[in-house]
Chains A and B, each alone.
Chain A
Amino acid sequence: MEELIKVKNLNLFFGSKHILKSINMSIYKKSVTAVIGPSGCGKSTYLRCFNRMNDYNGAKIDGEIMLDGEDINSKNTDVTKLRMKVGMVFQKPNPFAKSIFENVAFGLKIHGKLKTYEIENRVEESLKSVWLWDEVKDRLKESALLLSGGQQQRLCMARALATNPEIVLLDEPTSALDPNSTRKIEDLCLELKGKVTILIVTHNIAQAARISDYTAFLYLGELIEYNETKLIFTVPKDKKTEEYISGKFG
């Protein structure tokens, strides 16, 4: 498998608290990588390193995250361009209080340069890719807040996909959803990985097993084990991993 991102000796501190401890890990192109671990292990914070969303909470970071041969933590990185390449979907569906169309077009419009018909095409394409097009094509001008929770979350995925990112970060995207909507998002991940790399944080171990190709187990800020999902779930090397996936703690 081809590498998209390489994390080298990543450490993160909030004040004197050492949250992420010397993480080394590769993320492979066009695959689904799951990050699992008990609450408070730092998995969401870790995810936010990949699009520099920790810039706003006073975190101190050292180590490298290489994407396309550049360290995204470098001072020269243009975070607005980085975030076009690295999309994100959050735990709670958070569409803007704008129309369905404007939500998906948001990323395209703020970066400018595209003509109206190009934006329209991309919006349609993105909505189709998250299987939302047929449900909303007649009501693109309606407020996105009128959609159901599951639809909103897929809209957020469409919004993240509209700028054609190389990787999408999913931060527990189904934790606020009902089982049916969850199922849809999971199926969607499997479908989308042909086009885009997916890094998903989940507290749902079964979900990681169902949809991911690689699984990383994070515990108290340390990367305990990282391997192909089928190996992690059948022959874990570390005792902690085994205990966690068999439900002994967490």
Chain B
Amino acid sequence: MKRKFIEILGETFLRLSIIISLIFLFLFLFMIFSKGIKVISWEFLTRMPRSGMTKGGIYPAILGTFWITIVSIFIAFPIGIFSGIFLSEYGKPKWLVDIIKTSINTLSGTPSIVFGLFGLSVFVIGLNLKVSILSGGLTLAILILPTIINSTVEAINSVPFDFREAALSLGATKSQVIRNVVLPYAMPGILTGTIISVGRAAGETAPILFTAATFYSRRLPKSLMDEVMAMPYHIYALMTEGTSPQYQIPIAYGTAIVLLILILFINGSAIFLRYRIRKRRG
């Protein structure tokens, strides 16, 4: 009787937890959407801001976020994956590899504003890249690098030894084992880590605050050396520096909706990609 009671109590507790989580998620979406949905329109997505940012669209901010994210992924993805492969397959001695892994973990827990300061002093000032897409992309790349390295290392470590053994026994060299067996098997896991980072890069404000973002720009960026508007910073700026809150607050919420949908879209397409890879290998 007592065991049965504990059983029911336990299940009820678990059920309650998920209900609470769902309530928060629902409230979150409801608040954002109810406050921002009325500004969403085709014009909002495709036009420049007008009349002191009280009207018009957020097209430059969407474009800016897009480019900063793309730059950071193009830099962080290859470097992160190659670092991960090196750490898990070639790194020696073990104690040094462990120290490096711990440092990377620590780095991934560092507050993002610290990365912003780093980007400012190294890229913007040190390398004289100015406040630009490139500086912001580089800063975000460093921010997401630990996540990509970690997920690569974890995905590689989860490849069953059976597969390596089989490939080695057929006369494969170490690099052939990695290229033909380990990486294809680990790829879905690596992608998962990268997807999470793409979402993070697109949504971060602090790292681009001093390195890439500008409050208002009259023209669209023409090169990687231009400063840009970006969605997360746009929200921040409208909420803190806005002069006509009655118009600008809904625009901020509308921008949040667009940002959420963008991240949903990125994650969705990556999940689809991962599903395709898994399905192909049966």
Are A96 and B169 in touch, CB under 8 angstroms? no
B253 contacts chain A at the CB level, 8 A cutoff: no
For A83, list chain B residues within 8 Å (CB): 168-171
Query: Interface range on chain B: under 10, 10 to 19, 20 to 34, or 35 or more?
Result: 20 to 34
* Nearest CB on B from A83, distance (A): 4
* Bound: A98/B170 CA distance, A: 15
Residue of chain B at shortest CB distance from A78:
B171
* Bound: A160/B170 CA distance, A: 7
A204 contacts chain B at the CB level, 8 A cutoff: no
Residue of chain A at shortest CB distance from B172:
A110
For A156, list chain B residues within 8 Å (CB): 166
B184 contacts chain A at the CB level, 8 A cutoff: yes
For A111, list chain B residues within 8 Å (CB): 171
| Complex interface bits, B63-85 against A, C-beta within 8 A gives 1, otherwise 0 | 00000000000000000000000
Are B169 and A110 in touch, CB under 8 angstroms? no
* Nearest CB on B from A206, distance (A): 27
Are A80 and B171 in touch, CB under 8 angstroms? yes
Are A145 and B168 in touch, CB under 8 angstroms? no
* Bound: A146/B168 CA distance, A: 23
* Nearest CB on B from A164, distance (A): 12
State which of B173-181, B190-198, B205-213 sits at the interface with chain A: B173-181
Query: Number of A interface residues, CB 8 Å?
Result: 31
* Bound: A198/B166 CA distance, A: 18
CB neighbors of B among A48-104 (8 A): 51, 53, 56, 79-84, 87-88, 90, 92, 94-98
Question: Pick the contact of A90 from B166, B171, B181 — CB < 8 Å?
Answer: B166
* Bound: A18/B165 CA distance, A: 24
B281 contacts chain A at the CB level, 8 A cutoff: yes
* Nearest CB on B from A161, distance (A): 11
A22 contacts chain B at the CB level, 8 A cutoff: no
Are A107 and B282 in touch, CB under 8 angstroms? no
Residue of chain A at shortest CB distance from B164:
A56
The residue in B165, B167, B169, B180 that gathers the most chain A C-beta atoms within 10 A of its C-beta is B169
Question: Pick the contact of B281 from A87, A90, A97, A160 — CB < 8 Å?
Answer: A97
* Bound: A118/B155 CA distance, A: 35
Given contacts A92-B162, A110-B176, contact A145 B282 (CB under 8 A): yes
For B169, list chain A residues within 8 Å (CB): 51, 53, 83, 87-88, 90, 160
Residue of chain B at shortest CB distance from A81:
B171
* Bound: A83/B165 CA distance, A: 12
Please list 24 pairs of residues, one from A and one from B, whose beta carbons are closer than 8 Å in the complex, sorted by A's number. A53-B168, A53-B169, A79-B171, A80-B172, A87-B169, A90-B162, A90-B166, A94-B160, A94-B162, A94-B166, A96-B181, A97-B184, A98-B184, A106-B167, A106-B172, A110-B171, A110-B173, A111-B171, A143-B282, A145-B281, A156-B166, A159-B170, A160-B170, A163-B170
13 extra A-B contacts, CB within 8 A, seeds A84-B171, A143-B281: A51-B169, A53-B168, A94-B162, A96-B163, A96-B167, A97-B184, A110-B180, A143-B282, A146-B282, A156-B166, A159-B166, A159-B170, A163-B171
Give the interface of A toward B (CB within 8 A). Answer: 51, 53, 56, 79-84, 87-88, 90, 92, 94-98, 106-107, 110-111, 142-146, 156, 159-160, 163
